[in-house]
Amino acid sequence: MRLVISTLTYLFILGTTDFLHAQDKHYHKQIEKLIRHETVIDFKIVPTVIVVSVDYNFSSLDTFGVKLTEDSNNWNPAIWELGSVSKPFIAVLAKEALAQLGLSEDSQVCTVMPDSLCHAHWSIISFKQLLEHRAGLPLTTTGMAQAEKDVQDPYKDYHLSNLERDIMEIDPVPGQYSYSHLGYAALYWLFEKVGGLHLFMEQYFTDDTGVGVYDQVPDSMLIPGHGLNGKITANWHPSVLTTALGLKTDALSLYQFVSGWFADEDDMFAEPDPELLRELEVYDQKKEFKVIDGWLVWRKGKSIVYYMHGHTGGHAVSVAFIPAEYKCAMVFANGAAGTQDLSLLVLDMLQRGKKE
């Protein structure tokens, strides 16, 4: 991926946010139909759903439910919890950290982990296997559940000592696909080698990148989230699990980050790599996902779809895009119940040319 400020981002910087906010009434109704007929979103427990759609020279921001407060440029700059959508950010940062340390994705995790933790198969697990969820590790652990003291902020008290204990108790299965928060948590030691996640993220995502992403922000900067009962709930403050599900960003920054995977204009609509298509077909037959830069990737006809969904106690964010076609759908919801697969439904609609 590359981080170059996109045309859309420049329009925001220049204050011409009407480019995205000038809703096409017909397109808005098309999404409204998707929500009504193909999802079961309950606006009593998910008050606001925001859909950002991009299809090369077409873009739109559509709000459903309660409209959020906007500034003088018709934009709400507040920040969203990303949940598992943190993982693509972390994957990009991990590759940069490895490069700075003179390591590669094929290097063993034990090059940065304490020797005392490098038991059994941990001694041969690579960074690539962690990043691609091919270390046979569980999604969550008994230790994560036992550390929970506040149901509304479940990972706040899962600290480094808890992670170390889980690593000692769990033996990875190298090469086995298993989507895992634990695997991304184990990247903690990689970032410690480059000054810690917070500092490293600030150094990488500078103002020039157009991406503002955070591990810690005051709660007042976050969109108020709603629990499964529809009531305002606490924000998450994950400790060592930040690398798995703890980052935050605003909608524009997320779009700018995603646009780093879009094909160059000269390569748009080029035929996908045949080898990659065959590989994705094999994964599909196995009911597994290929993971590229933290995104779940699959084949849809001759298109290659990138996807990730994340939720916290009060937010749900999902992103679906096709890099070669410059098509993207991002969905933000201020309710933990989320929007199911709305981003995929919108992306499919963009592919079918239903925006006009």
pLDDT tens digits, 131-179:
999 999 999 999 999 999 999 999 999 999 999 999 999 999 999 999 9
Q: At what angle do helices 86-100 and 197-204 cross, to 10 degrees?
A: 90
The pLDDT of residue 297 is above 80? yes
In this predicted model, which residue has the larger pLDDT, 57 or 293? 293
The more confident residue out of 265 and 328 is 328
The model's pTM: 0.93
CA 238/CA 144 separation, integer angstroms: 11
The answer to whether the CB of 117 falls within 8 A of the CB of 342 is no
Which residue, among 157, 156, 181, has the nearest Cα to 170 in the 3D structure?
Answer: 181
Strand partners, 199: none
Residue 73: pLDDT band with limits 50, 70, 90: low
Above pLDDT 70, what percent of the chain? 90
pLDDT of residue 10: 43
Helix (H) or strand (E) holding 242: helix 242-245
**Digit-coded pLDDT (tens) for 230-288:** 999 999 999 999 999 999 999 999 999 999 999 887 777 778 888 999 999 999 999 99
Compute the average pLDDT of residues 102-118. Answer: 98
> Average of pLDDT values for 288-309?
96
Each residue of 174-203: b (16+ CB within 10 Å) or e? eeebbbbbbbbbbbbbbbeebeebeebbee
Residue 5, pLDDT score: 46
The pLDDT, as a whole number, for residue 16 is 35
Phi and psi based region of residue 244 (left: phi greater than 0; alpha: psi -120 to 50; beta: remaining): alpha
Average pLDDT of every residue of the chain: 91
- For the chain, give the percent of residues with pLDDT over 90: 83
- Is pLDDT of 19 > 50? no
Per-residue confidence (pLDDT) for residue 313, from 0 to 100: 97
